[in-house]
Chains A and B, each alone.
Chain A
Amino acid sequence: MGHGGESRRAQAYDGELGAAVARAQEGDEAAFAAAYRLVQPGLLAYVRGLVGDDAEDVTSDAWLEIARDLGRFKGDGAGFRGWTATIARHRALDHLRRQRVRPRPSALEQDVLELPGPQSTHDQAMEAMSTEHALALVGGLPRDQAEAVLLRVVVGLDGPAAARVLGKRPGAVRTAAYRGLKRLAKQLGIESVTDEAPRTLGEST
């Protein structure tokens, strides 16, 4: 239970990804495309959490760098996720620096308001949650928590790898991910261990 379903999924793909990366490093074009298809969805979701609507462009730039530097990379499938996430993150931060925009997407507030009301059952809220809603929720977290959650949940990195991407201590990143997830659970009306009554979204934010 310590790891989310997403990281388990990522681990299941890591063998395949590692093999594809190894072949791509020997010059196999099709293998590189396969690695791209395995990594890109999570990577794009992570970058979207950082830069919002420009995520496609930023991720595309990141892939140019990944394609260029692929020969330098050393590691397995999980390592490749971390490596690509690091490159994409640098691109995203460069992008934000250029734009002088805060990393949080500006369209968030609207989405938060549209979240299901208190009368909805939590599973309805969850099942009906769109990408925008989820993004809005994660974007509403403090920056370090949002990134830790995204790296873990979306990119599928374990604690040490996420810490390396963020350039922080593993303990700090683990704590940030835990707090972020707890907060999200609260916002979604999911009380994990506490006894208090489920709060509404309005109250919890």
Chain B
Amino acid sequence: MGERQSDGGPAGRRRVHPEGAPPGHRTAGRDGSVGGRPHAVDAAGLEALLAASLIRDSVDAAAEQRAVAAFRAAREAGAHRARTRRRDDWRPRRRRLGSHSVKTVLSVLLGGLTLGGVAVAGIGAAGSATDGPARDDRRAHASPDTPGPSTGGPLGESTGPGSAPAGPDRPAAARDTEAHCRAYEKVEGRGKALDATAWKRLTEAAGGEAKVDAYCAEQLEQATAEERRGGPAAGKDAGEAGRAGNGSSGTARDGASGNAGNAGNAGNASGGGPAGNDNGNGGSGAGGSGAANSGSGSRQGKPAQPGADRP
């Protein structure tokens, strides 16, 4: 009987009148109650009965028209393009939660990896920064203290790569100077950077501030030549020079940090084959004036290198 009612109620969605009910239905009901089965009407039957009683099927046409008019007005006003708020989203919850959680997990993972990478990179950067001055100190002391060829004649000896003990040291000093030169181009005229020890040394080596440009051009040219020639030893030294460049900028605190990066780049890039890369950097750093001045000073007589320097 319960099924009966739940089927009949929904179909009509109206109150079930005694007259309207099928005879069999009524008889069954009577039998149910008379036969002492008061629970013949189950919960579903009760719900169907309540629904049938409470819901009036007739829809007020005027109210419907008002609603449709409001719909039309909203459509024309463009209100239907409004954004969905959380309370407007009635899609099945399980699906939404599932996709959401997957998305969340992925983004959390990615974010974690990214941040972790940044953190690791930061550790490396901090380490090199603290390393810099120490190495610089060592080198700064070492290069003047080293007797003979390294400080004495970086220019004169540069064509003699044959001597084994001089090999590692001399080009390193040359690189040092080279890095200083590159940095010098950037810092010139700015602040007190030029007062720093490294600059003073550079100026002394060049024989006066006015000659720094020419000196540097020569140095860079020479560095390029060495690189072309250079084997693994030269590569290693180039790396050293790069680090030295990094460190020297640490000494020249004011405004030199940008240069430090540049010089470091030069050193790193020259480590292996990509001498061309280094050339490019030199060109951009020491370029204009330096290259022009070095026109007369290309004492090695190697036409290829100046050519490579000038883009």
Contacts and interface: CB of A to CB of B under 8 A. Distances in A.
Interface string A125-136: 011111101110
Nearest to B87: A86
Contacts of B164: none
A153 B176 CA distance: 88
A69 B47 CA distance: 31
Contacts of A175: none
B90 A74 contact: yes
A147 to B, nearest CB: 13
A6 B10 contact: yes
Contact of A36 (B34, B53, B67): B67
> Which of B9, B41, B79 is packed against the most chain A CB atoms within 10 Å?
B41
Given A41-B13, A123-B41, A154-B55, A188 B46 contact: yes
Interface in A31-50: 32-33, 36-37, 40-42, 44-45, 48-49
Contact of A189 (B38, B43, B51, B90): B38
B54 A49 contact: yes
B6 interface: yes
Contacts of B43: 1, 4, 181, 185, 192
Contacts of B44: 1, 3-5
Interface string A1-18: 101111111001000000
B80 interface: yes
Decide if the interface of chain B is mainly helix, strand, loop or mixed.
helix
B142 to A, nearest CB: 72
B59 interface: yes
Contacts of B91: 74-76, 79
A112 interface: no
Interface string B34-77: 10001101111111111101111101100110111011111100
A131 B13 contact: no
B63 A56 contact: yes
Contacts of A6: 9-10, 47-48, 50-51
A63 B63 contact: yes
A69 B81 CA distance: 9
Contact of B33 (A40, A121, A133): A121
Interface stretch (B15-23, B214-222, B300-308): B15-23
A138 B49 CA distance: 12
A173 interface: no
A25 B10 CA distance: 28
B25 to A, nearest CB: 9
Interface string B213-252: 0000000000000000000000000000000000000000
Interface in A54-98: 56, 59-60, 63-64, 66-76, 78-80, 82-83, 86
B296 interface: no
Contact of B67 (A42, A63, A122): A63
Q: How extensive is the interface on chain A, given as a class?
A: 35 or more
Contacts, number: 213
A41 B56 contact: yes
Nearest to A59: B63
A68 to B, nearest CB: 4
Contacts of B71: 24, 29, 32, 67, 70
Nearest to B17: A127
A73 B16 CA distance: 35
Given A64-B66, A123-B33, A71 B82 contact: yes
Contact of B41 (A25, A70, A126, A135): A126
Interface of A: 1, 3-9, 12, 24-25, 27, 29, 32-33, 36-37, 40-42, 44-45, 48-49, 56, 59-60, 63-64, 66-76, 78-80, 82-83, 86, 121-124, 126-131, 133-135, 137-138, 149-150, 152-154, 160-161, 181, 184-185, 188-193, 198
6 contacts: A5-B6, A36-B59, A71-B74, A154-B51, A190-B41, A192-B42
